[in-house]
Amino acid sequence: MDKDFYISQINKLRKSKNAIILAHFYQTGDIQDIADFVGDSLALAQEALKSSASIIILAGVKFMAETAKILNTDKKVLIPDIEAGCSLADSCKPEDFKKFIDENPGRKVVTYINTTAEIKAMSDIICTSSNALEIINSFPDDEKLIFAPDRNLGNHIKSQTNRDIIIWDGTCHVHEAFSIEAIIKLKEQYPDAKIIVHPECELPVRMIADFIGSTSALLKFTKENKAKTFIVATEPGIFHKMKQESPDKIFIAAPPKDSTCGCSECNYMKLNTLEKIYFALLNEEPEVVLSNEMITKAATPVLKMLEVSRALNIMKKKK
């Protein structure tokens, strides 16, 4: 079957079933183009919360689909490929995390959204790379904190505050793979280029960045900055929107340490295809299923994050 067939069938099915497709920036261009909404992890959660659809297809990875389910108990949440996991979420197992919390009593637990529902259920509040600093700063100055699971985002935030934060030692296999040497070589080739970096990257890469931000922040930076060339250290799916929004600019992928591994692509994100979205809509599976108990426990810290984010946004707009 060709691409046009899947697109026309997806369009028919989403209308007849009152379904919406929410896609992350790391999805392939054809998926982003058919999605009702494309965004970063925070925007996907916000969009899921306000949706009136009967079915949500989350074209992203499992933690994103679980978050959509946590916020929509009454809706069917589908993911095109149930194997679309996340190495960062996998680096924080519930039994180990429980032990970590028990060994560090008296600390509030701030957890990155890239975690399983079980980890969210053990947390006081969730954050994403778009709002991590604001979420941390929403606590009193002397509050002792745990941050998990990404050590790079955690250290990036910690370096901007004076707070007592202990950080779980997790990483993302995509973002830890970028080569500082190869990025420096590219910069020599393109001296006017801006180096822009996701906070999940390792410290040496973050240290040479002109800008560090979430996927949506990186996209905004490329639109607003006067530079013509950008060396981009994050998953290359984001290039689709960057090129659409700034067609006259040049985007260069930061190379991974092993030039043969292709590991700057997130193999989990790239499991999703138009064909799988079509079958997910047709058969209404794979469905994200969580127990009511898990949803109730995980919803509190997710909703708290959305509340803090909303309040801060309103305050920013008033200024």
C-alpha torsion angle, residues 132, 200, 171, 297 (rounded to 10): 30
Residue from the set 13, 20, 58, 88 that interacts with ligand SF4 by CB under 6 A: 88
Instruction: State the nearest-atom distance from the C-beta of 47 to ligand 13P, in Å.
Output: 13
d(CA 119, CA 293) in angstroms, rounded, equals: 13
d(CA 127, CA 105) in angstroms, rounded, equals: 21
Residue from the set 44, 77, 78, 86 that interacts with ligand SF4 by CB under 6 A: 86
Residue from the set 172, 193, 196, 218 that interacts with ligand SF4 by CB under 6 A: 172
* Residue 129 binding target from ligand 13P, ligand SF4, none, CB below 5 to 8 Å by type: ligand 13P
Q: Which residues ranging from 181 to 210 are in contact with ligand 13P (CB under 6 A)? A: 198, 200
Scanning 131-139, 220-228, 247-255, 263-271 for contacts with ligand SF4 by CB under 6 A, the matching segment is 263-271
DSSP letters, 209-254, are -SEE--HHHHHHHHHHS--SEEEEES-GGGHHHHHHH-TTSEEEEP
What percent of the chain is helix, strand and coil (3-state, nearest 5)?
A: 45, 15, 35
d(CA 53, CA 315) in angstroms, rounded, equals: 30
Residue from the set 67, 87, 129, 138 that interacts with ligand 13P by CB under 6 A: 129
DSSP 175: G
Nearer to ligand SF4, 13 or 45 (CB): 45
Interaction between residue 231 and ligand SF4 (CB under 6 A)? no
Q: How far is CA 10 from CA 7, 30, 38, 272, in A?
A: 5, 12, 16, 14
Interaction between residue 114 and ligand SF4 (CB under 6 A)? yes
Interaction between residue 131 and ligand 13P (CB under 6 A)? no
Residue pair 182/254 in contact (Cβ under 8 Å)? The answer is yes
Residue ranges binding ligand SF4 (CB under 6 A): 61, 86-88, 114, 172-174, 200, 235, 266, 268-269
Residue ranges binding ligand 13P (CB under 6 A): 25, 40-41, 114, 128-130, 172, 198, 200, 214-215
